[in-house]
Amino acid sequence: MSDSHFARQLQREVRQRRTFGIISHPDAGKTTLTEKFLLFGGAIQQAGAVKAKKATRHARSDWMKVEQDRGISVTSSVMKFEYGDCELNLLDTPGHQDFSEDTYRVLTAVDSALMVIDSVKGVESQTEKLMQVCRMRSIPIMTFINKLDRDGREPLELLDEIEDKLGIQAVPMTWPIGMGKRFQGVYDLINGELRFFETAENKGARPREATVVKDLESEELDRLLGETAANELREDVELLSGAGYPFDHEAYLAGKQTPVFFGSAVNNFGVQELLDNFVRLAPAPKAREAETRMVAPEEPEFSGVVFKIQANMDPDHRDRIAFMRICSGKFERGMRVRHHRLKKNMQLGNAIIFMARDRAGAEEAWPGDIVGLPNHGTLKIGDTLTSKEELKFLGIPNFAPEFFQRVILKNPLKSKQLEKGLAQLAEEGAIQFFRPITGREFILGAIGALQFDITAGRLKTEYGVEATYEPVQIYAVRWVESENKKQLQEVRKKYHNSLVEDAQGAPALFFPTRWRLEKAEEDWPEVRFTHVKEH
């Protein structure tokens, strides 16, 4: 293939890709919406298949169960499907009790996010947390307000709440026609069309096209809605056009504005409108920052970064799948690449691509695509692979854990194994640990409480170490950094007893209360007490 032909193909492949994650609080409808996307994209014929996973979710704290579930969720943690001319890569951001570092890390591998909000409950806690990560990285966010078939909160109130709680301008792109049992469709505020939905008898199948009314003033609207409701809608729309911000694509791409769509995923209402606008507005793969320079996806040389490791469910083999996002150039089966951390070459022979229903050997893949690389521990989070240039991608951070436990070893003679096991689990991102500089104990830190169970289970089965936990009084951990070496030294001295080192030996401090943390921040203005550590 000539260079210019390849360059054109690469450009086209990049333009067609949308790599994104869905962020939401449990039960807002992420699974339902995902299924409907697959249905509209033609990847599945009947919704209801993904649901099987849900039935098992209540028994999650049982370690074996988790292992089994993880086997299933390997296939669903990345899903590739087509919609129109686009290739979509949907990355799962595990919620519920599974909430962990992974959930955050996945957001470092997406180009945009879709936020699902329950119209009855509004903005909930997990959405707020995930949103903070999106804001940090200026990830563009599109919003879907779901469950309009229920009597939820007023649309305007929900938009206000998004602005207040999440600090982002919310711009409605559609407006619901009615709500609850009377939810009939949406008014498209961009092109002025009204789209009426019909409740399909089979909600799992692809619905019929919506009935479209082209003009808000048309008599057909009065006929369809009744005169009173039609006039109410006209008034709403007039009000809206005077208030709020106009949609600004640049502001969306900069993560400052979120376009909002209304619908009901379970009834297929508003899903197509969302998808059509998503592929139209959401960004294609972007340039990514490496230590030395920005790397554009259209560059012909291949590069990729590992953002997630998942232990395979087969305990006899202990192999792991590293999820790599392709950042530039073309991936080809069997290609030889440079592993920069280990300073050696490796062959990517058996990469996997994850489709909606199954996985297949990856013959080729392009920027924005995610491939799974089975390995026995050679690949770690943050590793960069390239076709030749020495590169190291940035931006796979560690987030300060929010739950803490002290590890108690049942058999003190096993401390070497414990150390080894924890070091490996920490590298994989399964758990974080800290060691007081004054002692030899391990304090584990997690973002989701289930991580402790998983760690105890894996220590036992994979390293033969039986460990239990003991509560500790820690409100927060913060990494400490400063250019002012004197202040840093003073901080280390003053908080000597709370000083710890993380798995990589970076200094951090434990704070027993929020007040103590705030006081430290006040007393040492030139020291950064950060809750994010970039690798």
Question: Which of residues 67, 101, 111, 149 is near ligand G4P by CB under 6 A?
Answer: 149
What whole-number distance in Å separates Cα of residue 388 and Cα of residue 403? 41
Question: Which of residues 10, 14, 23, 28 is near ligand G4P by CB under 6 A?
Answer: 28
Is position 150 an interface residue for ligand G4P (rule: CB under 6 A)?
yes
Per-residue HEC secondary structure of 95-131 comes to CHHHCCHHHHHHCCCCCEEEEEEECCCECCHHHHHHH
Question: Least distance from C-beta 90 to ligand G4P, angstroms?
Answer: 13
Structure tokens at 479: 């990494």
Residue 175 or residue 510: which is nearer to ligand G4P going by CB? 175
Which range touches ligand G4P (CB under 6 A), out of 22-30, 347-355, 357-365, 405-413?
22-30
Question: Least distance from C-beta 351 to ligand G4P, angstroms?
Answer: 28
Q: Is 51 annotated as a binding residue?
A: no
What whole-number distance in Å separates Cα of residue 301 and Cα of residue 388? 8
Three-state DSSP at 201 gives coil
Which range touches ligand G4P (CB under 6 A), out of 27-35, 158-166, 254-262, 368-376?
27-35
Beta bridge partners of residue 146, listed in sequence order:
118
Residue 186: which of 164, 156, 210 has the closest Cα? Answer: 210
Is position 27 an interface residue for ligand G4P (rule: CB under 6 A)?
yes
Question: Which of residues 54, 318, 336, 388 is near ligand G4P by CB under 6 A?
Answer: 54
What whole-number distance in Å separates Cα of residue 444 and Cα of residue 453? 12
Question: Least distance from C-beta 30 to ligand G4P, angstroms?
Answer: 3
Three-state DSSP at 295 gives strand
- Burial (CB < 10 A; 0-12, 13-18, 19+), residue 346, is middle
Write the single-letter amino acid at 316. Answer: D
Q: Is 339 annotated as a binding residue?
A: no
Is position 496 an interface residue for ligand G4P (rule: CB under 6 A)?
no
Residue 113 in contact with residue 288, Cβ under 8 Å? no
Question: Which of residues 17, 18, 80, 147 is near ligand G4P by CB under 6 A?
Answer: 147
DSSP calls for 492-510: HHHTGGGEEEETT--EEEE
Q: Which residues of 466-480 are buried (b: 16+ CB within 10 A; e: fewer)?
A: ebebeeeebebbbbb
Residue 29 or residue 401: which is nearer to ligand G4P going by CB? 29
Question: Least distance from C-beta 350 to ligand G4P, angstroms?
Answer: 31
Is position 32 an interface residue for ligand G4P (rule: CB under 6 A)?
yes
Question: Which of residues 17, 18, 30, 320 is near ligand G4P by CB under 6 A?
Answer: 30
Is position 264 an interface residue for ligand G4P (rule: CB under 6 A)?
yes
Question: Which of residues 16, 19, 24, 126 is near ligand G4P by CB under 6 A?
Answer: 24
Q: Is 31 annotated as a binding residue?
A: yes
Encoded one letter per residue, x for contact with ligand G4P by CB under 6 A and - for no contact, window 89-128 reads: ----------------------------------------
Q: Which residues of 97-136 are buried (b: 16+ CB within 10 A; e: fewer)?
A: bbbbbbbbbbbbbbbbbbbbbbbeebbbebbebbbebbeb
Give residue 473's Cα distance to chain centre. 30
Binding-site annotation, residues: 24-31, 92-96, 146-149
Binding-site annotation, residues for GTP: 24-31, 92-96, 146-149
Per CB under 6 A, residues contacting ligand G4P are 24, 26-32, 51, 54, 146-147, 149-150, 264-266
